[in-house]
Amino acid sequence: MRVVIAGAGLAGLSCAKYLVDAGYTPIVLERRDVLGGLVAAWKDSDGDWYETGLHAFFGAYPNMLQLLKELGIEDRLQWKQHTLIFNQPDKPGTLSRFDVPDIPSPFNIIVSILRNNDMLTWEQKLRFAVGLLPAIVRGQEYVEEMDKYSFAEWLKGQGIGERVASDVFIAASKALTFINPDQVSSTILLTALNRFLQERYGSKIAFLDGSPTERLCQPIVDYITQKGGEVRLNAPLKEIMLNPDGTVRGFLLRGLDGKPDEVITADFYVSAMSVDPLKVMLPEPWRQMEFFQKLEGLEGVPVINLHLWFDQKLTDIDHLLFSRSPLLSVYADMSNTCREYSNPDRSMLELVLAPAQDWIDKSDEEIVSATMTELQKLFPHHFGGEEPAKLLKSHVVKTPRSVYKATPGRQKYRPPQKTPIANFFLSGSYTMQRYLGSMEGAVLSGKLTAQAISHIPTLNRPPAKNAATA
């Protein structure tokens, strides 16, 4: 049984991986010349990598970790000390840590919070703990109900002051969703907090030992092709072609470099594109259906990722850091955290600028200049001394529409993987699954899509077709 998948991001690749495991023949089509979608990476003329995002892996990513284990590449994750590290804007150059002891959850997280006296008062700690009790006791049911509130509203409802939102959760919110606590649905952060509280190593962080394209995506492709599947780059989807009954007749691919358009046919079809391009590609008859009309309630959030190479070492910290800057969300010195990017003498900072709505249309020069101003506050000793650090080069990667914008009320718009179209399915972290828009959500959605296809009774399956050229 052939399955054509549009999109070679983590959702499309994981869907294909689990389909070949179930005995299907997937054909993955990617419009660009690079794997990975929202985790894509490129090499510049110097041989240095730059990526679409600062990709941190959490212990609370069970589907991602299982996938890596099944591929035999779990050793490519470089696990860091179990701690969360925040900058202190009122004390430039000083860090605040939430060190998590190696004891059962949720006591390990509770102890880490109780030990930290830099960012929360005892009253704030108590109020926050009491506020989290319903989420712990009632679980995901309570968490889903809170989608009607922003996280800032939820905190206020628990009697937790604005200072907690600004001191702690503005950093966490921007890191996880690229928007501020007054915009993000409380369901999103409560889901993350629930996973951290329920899993002993849920908040532990790891980085890949190299670029996601080579070290994560390529092994999935190798697995797929070794089992008879196919992955094609430079294969942009031009049109979803329909049968008279509204089911998919084929995917029309745009011919490149003077080549004719091509029709790919199969037994089943999957969109593993982000929600924004999917909405553009929807056939007109489908646009009248309530299922697809709900997608208008979802849109991608703009994201900007920066890479800055310096002539000297700015920090020896081998970890993710929460900047608590009004401009930046999280950053890491990749020369410390990633084996392939290692450099004992120079730093390469990778930083996420968020929220990026007001910056996405600005020039790279403006973005780098504003970032450097913020870095002077984060590293005052390295930019204000006799030999200030010099910026050697930079890369700015803009993603105008990244993961879906997780504002309050979005949960009801997130579709299941199975659509009303008998031979058409959806995959992507915006689809309904227990995790937010993330690498884990993408992998889980791909797995759920593969399960939805493989559970269809054989008698109801459309007849197999062969590829043809238009």
- Count Cα neighbours of 214 within 13 Å in the Cβ-side half-sphere: 10
Boundary-marking domain end, from 361, 382, 404:
404
209 Cα distance to chain centroid:
18
pLDDT of 42 reads 97
| Digitized pLDDT (tens) for each residue of the chain, 470 residues in all | 999 999 999 999 999 999 999 999 999 999 999 999 999 999 999 999 999 999 999 999 999 999 999 999 999 999 999 999 998 888 888 899 999 999 998 889 888 888 888 887 888 788 777 777 777 777 778 888 999 999 989 888 877 766 666 667 888 888 888 998 889 999 988 888 888 888 999 999 999 999 999 999 999 999 999 999 999 999 999 999 999 999 999 999 999 998 999 999 999 999 999 999 999 999 999 999 999 999 999 999 999 999 999 999 999 999 999 988 889 999 999 999 999 999 999 999 999 999 999 999 999 999 999 999 999 988 888 887 778 999 999 999 999 999 999 999 999 999 999 999 999 999 999 999 988 889 999 999 999 999 999 987 653 444 444 443 33
Pick the closest to residue 442 from 28, 6, 16, 13 (CA basis).
13
Instruction: Assess whether 193 and 138 both reside in one domain.
Output: yes
How high is the pLDDT of residue 118? 82
Give how far Cα 210 sits from Cα of 9, 38, 215, 310, Å: 17, 16, 6, 19
Are the beta carbons of 14 and 8 closer than 8 angstroms? no
The residue from 368, 388, 404 where one domain ends is 404
Residue that is last in its domain, among 364, 381, 404: 404
In a domain, 227, yes or no: no
How many CB atoms are located within 10 Å of the residue 366 CB?
A: 12
With respect to residue 221, please indicate whether it lies within any of the assigned structural domains: no
The structural domain count of the chain equals: 3
Q: Tell me, what's the pLDDT at 293?
A: 97
The phi and psi torsions of 73 (rounded to 5 degrees) equal: -125, 25
Q: DSSP characters for 214-254?
A: IIIIHHHHHHHHHTT-EEESS--EEEEEE-TTSSEEEEEEP
466 within domain boundaries = no
**pTM, whole model, 2 decimals?**
0.93
d(CA 315, CA 382): 9
User: Which one-letter amino acid corresponds to residue 182?
Assistant: D
End-to-end CA distance of the chain: 22
pLDDT at 416: 97
Is residue 384 classed as helix, strand or coil in its secondary structure? coil
- 38 lies in some domain: no
- Asked if the structure places residue 416 within a domain, the reply is yes
Q: Are residues 326 and 365 in the same domain?
A: yes
- Tokens representing residue 255 in the block: 């011919």
In the numeric block, the tokens 């005995």 are attached to 23
Rg, Å, the chain Cα set: 23
Q: Are residues 248 and 282 in the same domain?
A: yes
Does one domain contain both 294 and 414? yes
Whether 189 and 325 map to the same domain: the answer is no
pLDDT for the residue numbered 49: 96
Could you tell me the CATH number of the domain that includes residue 243? 3.50.50.60
Look up residue 12 and give its two tokens: 């499309």
Contact partners, residue 96, CB within 8 Å, separation at least 6: 85, 86, 87, 88, 116, 118, 119
pLDDT score at 204: 96
Task: Copy the structure tokens of residue 282.
Answer: 């929807």
Is 270 part of any domain? Answer: yes
Whether the link from the prior residue into 212 is cis, omega within 30° of 0, is no
* Same-domain pairing of 412 and 294: yes
- The CA-atom distances, in angstroms, between 127 and each of 120, 170, 184, 313 are 11, 18, 21, 40
Q: Are residues 320 and 397 in the same domain?
A: yes
Examine the domain organization and report whether 120 and 50 are in the same domain: no
In a shared domain, residues 312 and 396: yes
Using CA atoms, how far residue 226 sits from 20, 63, 68, 222, 459, in Å, is 10, 22, 17, 6, 29
Residue 464, pLDDT score: 47
**CATH number for position 339:** 3.90.660.20
Asked if the structure places residue 84 within a domain, the reply is: yes
Same domain assignment for residues 380 and 420: no
Based on the fold, state whether residues 321 and 400 are members of the same structural domain.
Answer: yes
Residue 333 phi/psi, 5° resolution? -85, 100
Residue 157 per-residue DSSP state: H
Range of the domain at 266: 2-33+233-298+406-455
Q: Distance between alpha carbon 103 and the CA centroid of its chain, in Å?
A: 29
Q: Is residue 219 part of a domain?
A: no
**The predicted structure's pLDDT at residue 170:** 83
Residue 164: predicted pLDDT: 67
Is 435 found in the same domain as 294?
yes
